[in-house]
Amino acid sequence: MANLSEQYIKDLIADIRDPYSGADLGSLGWLRGVGIDGNRVSLDLRAGYPLDGVRDSIARQIADALESDDQIGNAVVNLDWKVVPHVVQGELKPLEQIKNIIAVASGKGGVGKSATAVNLALALSADGARVGVLDADIYGPSMPRMLGVSGPPDTVGNRIVPQQAHGLQVMSIGFLVEEDTPMIWRGPMVTSALQQLLTETNWDGLDYLIVDLPPGTGDIQLTLAQQVPVSGCLIVTTPQDIALLDARKAVQMFRKVNMSVLGVVENMSTHICSQCGHEEPIFGSGGGARMAEQYDVPLLGQLPLDLRIRENLDHGNPTVVSAPDSEITEDYREVARNLSARLALTPRSLDLNLPQINIQNTCSFSMTNKYLQAPLP
């Protein structure tokens, strides 16, 4: 006869691990309630990251693990999730209407950072999260083209309404200028533009805001570190030695300014031939894993170099939405779950009021077409 208790179930839960964070369910605090009726058990669990796409399979894995115990005849697992704000750097506090800001960075250009950022944002959205994308590359905005949206955004009062694209809330300087207009601005003007795009946009209840940073470790990155509450950073690199050299600098920079590095993504790990499907590591292999081990951060995934990724972005339909059942999309969704699960491991923010921060600009201006077309002083 079964002799089950709530503590017995909790002890069993402590031996079951979340497939994405690797932590045991007991330490994660997923357990919300236990029901026991003879040898039948029901659990109410709540994860800290979005998992609509794998909710049933994870619940089944947990139920199977419980039913492997001799005393449990049947286990029913009810699994939901909720994203909460996590701690940010320094004395900053999370912004109103944005629970978590995740910065996507790279040490150098050309590694597929923006493609990775937009597809990960769409992958998080596909798992049920409310997601926004901020294009922080003022000199070279790419989100309008990648997401297939253009034209000036609407305004409500003195607030900018973000554009909508494939279920994402999106803001970019590219919406305010013609596509071929160069941004011939000095550093203070660029950082001021970023601050306004972030704080004057009417974001609507986001779980995550993905910030696509320009490559390198310059003014934008420093502004982000000093004045924007960031929950964590993701470093994108290729396996190539030259790319890894600069990616290491990005990791070191974010650590020096006390920003959490959530992990590394190795993009272009293998080239997939569009004719025969043969895979070849044309940029080398294992570089991302070695870098992650060196700096004690997780390798969140490896993504291929595939012609379809580029073609889909050029047409404004990223792979995650244009080919939702493809292997490439599944790769992106796995990386997105690893990323959000890793963030869920970090301490929660204790600031319950979530006030909006006031940023003091060194250069104040209004982003009107008249100003954007003005000659450089």
Task: State the burial class of residue 282 (Cβ atoms within 10 Å of its Cβ: 0-12, 13-18, 19+).
Answer: middle
Predicted pLDDT at 218: 86
Q: What is the mean pLDDT of the chain?
A: 90
Asked whether the predicted pLDDT for residue 361 surpasses 80, the reply is: no
Asked whether the predicted pLDDT for residue 313 surpasses 80, the reply is: yes
Asked whether the predicted pLDDT for residue 356 surpasses 90, the reply is: no
Predicted pLDDT at 373: 43
Which pTM was predicted?
0.90
Residue listed under structure tokens 């973000």:
162
Predicted pLDDT at 370: 38
Q: Are 46 and 55 in contact (CB under 8 A)?
A: no
Asked whether the predicted pLDDT for residue 65 surpasses 80, the reply is: yes
Segment 18-25 mean pLDDT: 95
**Rounded CA gap, 25 and 10, in Å?**
9
User: What is the tens place of the pLDDT at every residue in 131-161?
Assistant: 999 999 999 899 999 999 999 999 999 999 9
What domains lie within the chain, and their CATH numbers?
6-81 (3.30.300.130), 98-344 (3.40.50.300)
**Rounded CA gap, 62 and 169, in Å?**
34
Q: Starting at the edge strand that comes first in sequence, how are the strands of the sheet with 168-172 ordered?
A: 163-165, 168-172, 131-135, 206-212, 98-105, 232-237, 261-266, 299-302
Asked whether the predicted pLDDT for residue 364 surpasses 60, the reply is: no
- What is the total residue count of the chain? 377
**Rounded CA gap, 147 and 128, in Å?**
19
How many Cβ atoms from other residues are within 10 Å of residue 69's Cβ?
17
- CA-to-CA separations, 187 to 24, 30, 194, in angstroms, rounded: 46, 45, 11
* 41 DSSP β-pair partners: 36, 75
Residue listed under structure tokens 């993905």:
210
User: What is the tens place of the pLDDT at every residue in 73-87?
Assistant: 999 999 999 999 999
What kind and span of H or E run contains 208? strand 206-212
Q: Look at 292 and 368; give whichever has higher pLDDT.
A: 292
DSSP string spanning 248-308? HHHHHHHHHTT--EEEEEE-S-SEEPTTT--EE-TT-SSHHHHHHHHTT--EEEE--EEHH
User: What is the tens place of the pLDDT at every residue in 84-108?
Assistant: 999 999 899 999 999 999 999 998 8
Which positions ≥6 away from 146 have C-beta within 8 Å? 114, 115, 118, 313, 316, 318
Predicted pLDDT at 2: 58
